[in-house]
Amino acid sequence: MKLAARYNSKETEAKWYPHWMEKKYFASKPDDREAFSVVIPPPNVTGVLHMGHMLNNTIQDILIRKARLDGKNACWVPGTDHASIATEAKVVRKLRAQGIKKGDLSREEFLKHAWDWTDEYGGKILLQLRKLGASCDWDRTAFTMDDTRSKQVIQVFVDLYNKGKLYRGLRMVNWDPEAQTVLSNEEVIHGDEDSFLYHLRYKIDHGGEESLELARLARQIKQVKRTVASYKPLSNGRGVYNKSTYNSFRNQLAKLEKEYAEKEAAYNWLTIATKRPETIMGDTAIAVHPDDPRYAHLKGKRAIVPLIGRSVPIIFDDYVDMEFGTGALKVTPAHDPNDYEIGLRHKLEVIDTIADNGTLNEKAQIHIGKDRFEARDLVKADLEAAGNLVRLEPYQSSIGRSERTGAVVEPKLSLQWYVDMKQIAAPALDAVMTDEIEFFPKKYKNTYRHWMDNIRDWCISRQLWWGHQIPAWYYNGEVFVGTTAADALKLAQEKFGNQVTLADLKQDEDVLDTWFSSWLWPFSVFDGLEAGGEVDYYYPTSVLVTGWDIIFLWVARMAMAGYEWKGTLPFKHVYFTGMVRDPQGRKMSKSLGNSPDALKLIEDYGADGVRFGMMSCSPAGGDLLFDTKLCEQGAAFSNKMWQALRLIKGWEISEQPVTEDLGKVNALAAKWLDQRLSQILLETDSNFTEYRLSEVTMDLYKFIFGDFCGWYLEIIKPPYGSPIDRASYNQAIEFFEQLMTMLHPIMPFVTEEIWHQLKERKDGEDCIASQYPKAGNIDAVFLKNFETVKDTISKIREIRQKNQLKSYEPLKTFVQASESATTFFEIAGMKELLQKMAALESLTFTTEEPANTVNFISGTEKFYVELNLTIDVEAEKERITKELEYTKGFLISVDKKLSNERFVNNAPAKVVENERNKQADAVAKIAILEESLTKLN
RNA sequence: GAGAGUGUAGCUCAGUUGGUUUAGAGCAUUACCUUGACAGGGUAGGGGUCGGGGGUUCGAAUCCCUCCACUCUCACCA
């Protein structure tokens, strides 16, 4: 069978995924092997695959495939979450486009639409993951709102409530007026935005009491005014008119009027600064600092809220910052968390002037029904007209927006359900601090601890319909929590008697936060809230792979849930991936349009190419600057391996050893590659342990490209038109096979294809189900010798290039006779290998310097290359001098160490010995170089 | 404001408890080669006083101090 000239990723990928599925390689059932389980971070059920998913899931697939090759029982559970806010928003938008308002529908009708939507778009993302090669156990696909998961969510709520770790409370919450629901702190994104600080003056209410000083000034002004008037020139032009006297009275009057204005302002007005003038209608106090001398005289006074004329107390509270703004603060307890606290301290009235949809309500008295931002402009204009707007100061401040809808979050006072986090956080914190749960990279431990130390209660109710409806029923002002309405009824009857019926109970309208389902994921996917069954085998899961951006939203909460219900950790390792960024380091975003289409990438470069591209630039936990060029490199790599396959498969095989020399060369090459393979396996092993996957990827890339294709195959490649012996051929196939298994986790498709092309395979023999090779012993001396011969080959090639000789033109070479040279070339096949790879006509031992040669040193051996052209003596001298200088400098640094007694005494013997070897080598090398130089002179 | 992290070649990054050459890789770049697996190739080369300064040590990219630059997280003063 003839192999295609180029590797075709599309054909291959279309072939192998269905094959793996058919063979059920992804499916896992508990058995006596060690379990390796991973749960997918559930994407939104209606989401589409983006770069973040690709990175995250490629990593999980690599870990799962590696575990499978290591003989573990690998189980990767896929699934999606219902994404309460996002999905409901999408459904509402779709209905609106059809002219249907959510408010016109019953809860049941709306949910019907939502499920239709979910069925239509749901799970698309999971199909896209298959394109990437994700080897999930699809039979286990879970959804946060399916029956199994829902049952556990409800049970957990009831359990927490009964344990007193869940409560309903009135709090200032983050309200999203667009989605019309509350958000947890973690769902609010803060960012600096330009706005204004409005300086507004409030009239002070003195309760009719007059200022004596002002009254005195007023009288004075009146008097002076009269005087000024009397000094007016007479109309007939003959009256008394002393200009200088007149002017002095005029000045006096101006001064008095100014003084009056100032005193009057200070006495009658108080200026505050605010970002939100539209909330003044909810003001119930003005606060100043108790130690502020500017306002000390206002004790016990009241102020009048502009536009609506409400009289509010002027209060004194430490919270106020004297330095900021005017040092006076309007207090609006309904619309600011800090103001609410002040309100509690001073028993202030709470006047909520903003409706759930962000418009002003009737309590605002003015501009009712106008949106809060429109109202801001209207109120500003009103204040300006009324003379209350003193100044407008440009100001940058942090604004919180909803993560899902982008709407500016409105602080709002409301009754919500909370999890008492302090009661459940402790074991989850300890686990991470003691590395029972290990974070990769470690630095996230700090972030985690900081959040856990300052943990706040978790608001879990959402004013939505799409989600798990809260299992709480109300009757007669009391709440009854149970898994079913019947349970709740029983509780109600215990309290109020049997006359209470199901119809009397009213279930809480709200649903639970989506994260309240996902925090159970590591065991809920195994239906494992209760012990027994599969959960005992798969839980705790082996590793969680996720982005650091959801460390609080998800990771920390899963840890808490794990300890709360399973009594132990949910995962042993957490590997945090970085964010995918564009080559300029910017976040991928829809608005920037810098996010490549994930499926298009797979289309263009193949899943293997994309996987390689993502992994090669993905430092453990660091952000990755994604460039499609890397995928190109991945695709090229697939082709490179394909070409190597074509090479080997193109060889004619001889059942007889071809020549003795070639047999020795091939055996030597095989021994070397085997040793190198062991080295790579050891490195790869430790890199996998530390999740340094980009290093695993690059090590294999370099090894296959360089050592395998560049050296090994070139060495064993038979001369043009000649066959290769059977043993060497089989050996090459075996190496190739091992390499495919090693690379399989990273590039599953191309490796599976080549693995099958290498040999005839029986049914059930597949790369995905093969065994990961194990490292053998490493002979360091041998490897060093092989490096020397490679170095010699390179140096001869360099000489060819410098002297413009063809790479295949045979050269006569000599090696300086020495004991070490003899030993070196006694290694079977070494001489023949050198001759073949450097295209030598001859290699002869010599004691004299042969005529017409240039020389070089490799290791400690001196080589001569005969050139049939005049040697540029000056150039040679320069080259040797340069090398001599370097070696001398090197020797000096080594000598320095060795002549230092403290080094010799304190450093480990191994280090000292190594330095002595370096010294000896350098001395020998210098001698050789100097000799050459002398001869040239 | 509090905390954390980063700074090594043109770019992206390794450098695994301080000692394997006077610091490595990939990409990019330069020169040359290339009818025989592969131009998505081969061979060879150039390129870094490891952010600056100081200290500890026989020895520092690595540990400590300090300064500079950038990034992130949390909390926010109206």
* Lowest mean pLDDT, pick from A119-123, A808-812, A898-902: A898-902
Give the CA-to-C1' distance from A687 to B15 in angstroms: 14
Q: What is the dihedral of CA A136, A138, A144, A145, to 10 degrees?
A: 170
Predicted local distance difference test score (pLDDT) of residue A1: 58
Confidence tier at A635 by pLDDT (50, 70, 90) = very high
Instruction: Considering only residues A793 and A911, tell me which one the structure prediction assigns the higher pLDDT.
Output: A793
Average pLDDT over residues A903-923: 79
Average pLDDT over residues A110-128: 93
Q: What is the dihedral of CA A107, A109, A115, A117, to 10 degrees?
A: -120
Report the Cα–Cα distance between both ends of chain A, in Å, rounded. Answer: 63
Nucleotide nearest to A793 (CA to C1'): B43
The pLDDT tens digits for A461-489 are: 999 999 999 999 999 999 999 999 999 99
In this complex, the answer to whether residue A263 has its CB under 7 A from any atom of chain B, a nucleic strand, is no
Instruction: Considering only residues A931 and A613, tell me which one the structure prediction assigns the higher pLDDT.
Output: A613
Give the CA-to-C1' distance from A320 to B73 in angstroms: 27
A896 pLDDT higher than 90: no
Confidence tier at A789 by pLDDT (50, 70, 90) = very high
Task: Please name the amino acid found at residue A802.
Answer: K
Give the CA-to-C1' distance from A882 to B30 in angstroms: 21
Instruction: Considering only residues A104 and A878, tell me which one the structure prediction assigns the higher pLDDT.
Output: A104
Residue closest to B22, CA→C1'? A890
Instruction: State CA A568 to chain mean position distance.
Output: 26
A911 pLDDT higher than 80: no
Q: What percent of chain A has pLDDT over 90?
A: 65
Residue closest to B42, CA→C1'? A710
Contact assessment for residue A334 and residue A282, using Cβ atoms and an 8 Å cutoff: yes
Instruction: State CA A336 to chain mean position distance.
Output: 32
Distance of alpha carbon A309 from alpha carbon A337, whole angstroms: 24
Q: What is the ipTM of this complex?
A: 0.94
A237 pLDDT higher than 60: no
A748 pLDDT higher than 60: yes
Task: Please name the amino acid found at residue A642.
Answer: W
A780 pLDDT higher than 90: no
Strand B nucleotides, any atom under 7 Å to a protein CB: 3-5, 11-16, 19-22, 25-27, 31-34, 36-38, 40-45, 57-59, 73-78
Predicted local distance difference test score (pLDDT) of residue A793: 93
A261 pLDDT higher than 90: no
A411 pLDDT higher than 90: yes
Shortest CA distance to A149 belongs to which of A83, A208, A81, A197? A81
Q: Which residues contact A628 (CB under 8 A, 6 or more apart)?
A: A596, A601, A604, A605, A613
- Which pair of tokens denotes residue A378? 């209207």
Strand B, CB < 7 A, residues 760-819 of A: 780, 793-794, 797-798, 801, 804, 806-808
- Please, what is the average pLDDT of chain A? 91
Nucleotide nearest to A323 (CA to C1'): B77
Q: Which one of A153-157, A269-273, A790-794, A842-846 scores highest in mean pLDDT?
A: A153-157
Cβ-based neighbour number of residue A407 at 10 Å: 17
Q: Which residues contact A907 (CB under 8 A, 6 or more apart)?
A: none
In this complex, the answer to whether residue A27 has its CB under 7 A from any atom of chain B, a nucleic strand, is no
- Which pair of tokens denotes residue A835? 């001759």
Give the CA-to-C1' distance from A710 to B42 in angstroms: 9
In this complex, the answer to whether residue A397 has its CB under 7 A from any atom of chain B, a nucleic strand, is yes
Task: Please name the amino acid found at residue A524.
Answer: S
The pLDDT tens digits for A646-675 are: 999 999 999 988 888 899 999 999 999 999
Average pLDDT over residues A788-793: 92
Nucleotide nearest to A198 (CA to C1'): B78
Give the CA-to-C1' distance from A896 to B30 in angstroms: 37
Give the CA-to-C1' distance from A545 to B75 in angstroms: 28
Confidence tier at A872 by pLDDT (50, 70, 90) = confident
In this complex, the answer to whether residue A629 has its CB under 7 A from any atom of chain B, a nucleic strand, is yes
List C-alpha distances in Å: A471 to A28, A225, A529, A814: 34, 78, 18, 90
Average pLDDT over residues A750-754: 97
Predicted local distance difference test score (pLDDT) of residue A207: 76
Give the CA-to-C1' distance from A91 to B77 in angstroms: 40
Average pLDDT over residues A907-913: 77
Predicted local distance difference test score (pLDDT) of residue A23: 97
In this complex, the answer to whether residue A121 has its CB under 7 A from any atom of chain B, a nucleic strand, is no
A236 pLDDT higher than 60: no
Give the CA-to-C1' distance from A819 to B26 in angstroms: 40
List C-alpha distances in Å: A155 to A418, A476, A482: 16, 24, 8
A241 pLDDT higher than 70: no
Cβ-based neighbour number of residue A344 at 10 Å: 11
Give the CA-to-C1' distance from A899 to B57 in angstroms: 17
In this complex, the answer to whether residue A444 has its CB under 7 A from any atom of chain B, a nucleic strand, is no
A698 pLDDT higher than 90: yes
The pLDDT tens digits for A413-433 are: 999 999 999 999 999 999 999
A458 pLDDT higher than 70: yes
Distance of alpha carbon A157 from alpha carbon A418, whole angstroms: 11
Strand B, CB < 7 A, residues 887-916 of A: 888-894, 897, 900, 902-903, 906-908, 911, 914
A240 pLDDT higher than 70: no
Average pLDDT over residues A115-123: 90
The pLDDT tens digits for A837-866 are: 999 999 999 998 888 888 888 888 899 999
Instruction: Considering only residues A396 and A91, tell me which one the structure prediction assigns the higher pLDDT.
Output: A91
- Alpha helices by DSSP H, A242-386: 243-268, 337-346, 372-386
Distance of alpha carbon A424 from alpha carbon A932, whole angstroms: 78
Distance of alpha carbon A461 from alpha carbon A84, whole angstroms: 11
Predicted local distance difference test score (pLDDT) of residue A210: 77
Strand B, CB < 7 A, residues 829-888 of A: 886, 888
The alpha-carbon radius of gyration of chain A (Å, integer) is 41
The pLDDT tens digits for A302-337 are: 999 999 999 999 999 989 988 888 999 999 999 999
Residue closest to B14, CA→C1'? A695
Give the CA-to-C1' distance from A582 to B54 in angstroms: 39
Predicted local distance difference test score (pLDDT) of residue A397: 84
Decide the pairing of beta strands A302-304 and A506-507. Answer: unpaired
Cβ-based neighbour number of residue A142 at 10 Å: 21
Give the CA-to-C1' distance from A642 to B40 in angstroms: 12
Shortest CA distance to A782 belongs to which of A829, A818, A739? A829
Give the CA-to-C1' distance from A890 to B53 in angstroms: 28
Confidence tier at A122 by pLDDT (50, 70, 90) = confident
List C-alpha distances in Å: A3 to A619, A650, A652, A708: 36, 9, 15, 20
Confidence tier at A937 by pLDDT (50, 70, 90) = confident
Average pLDDT over residues A373-402: 92
Give the CA-to-C1' distance from A856 to B45 in angstroms: 17
Q: Which residues contact A136 (CB under 8 A, 6 or more apart)?
A: A26, A40, A76, A77, A78, A126, A129
In this complex, the answer to whether residue A320 has its CB under 7 A from any atom of chain B, a nucleic strand, is yes
Confidence tier at A619 by pLDDT (50, 70, 90) = low
Q: Which residues contact A799 (CB under 8 A, 6 or more apart)?
A: A805, A854, A856, A865, A867
Instruction: Considering only residues A394 and A556, tell me which one the structure prediction assigns the higher pLDDT.
Output: A556
Confidence tier at A239 by pLDDT (50, 70, 90) = low
Confidence tier at A580 by pLDDT (50, 70, 90) = confident
A889 pLDDT higher than 80: no
Average pLDDT over residues A776-803: 89
Give the CA-to-C1' distance from A921 to B47 in angstroms: 28
In this complex, the answer to whether residue A584 has its CB under 7 A from any atom of chain B, a nucleic strand, is no
Q: What percent of chain A has pLDDT over 70?
A: 98
List C-alpha distances in Å: A521 to A37, A106, A161, A420: 13, 30, 20, 20
Nucleotide nearest to A689 (CA to C1'): B16
Nucleotide nearest to A625 (CA to C1'): B12
Distance of alpha carbon A370 from alpha carbon A378, whole angstroms: 9
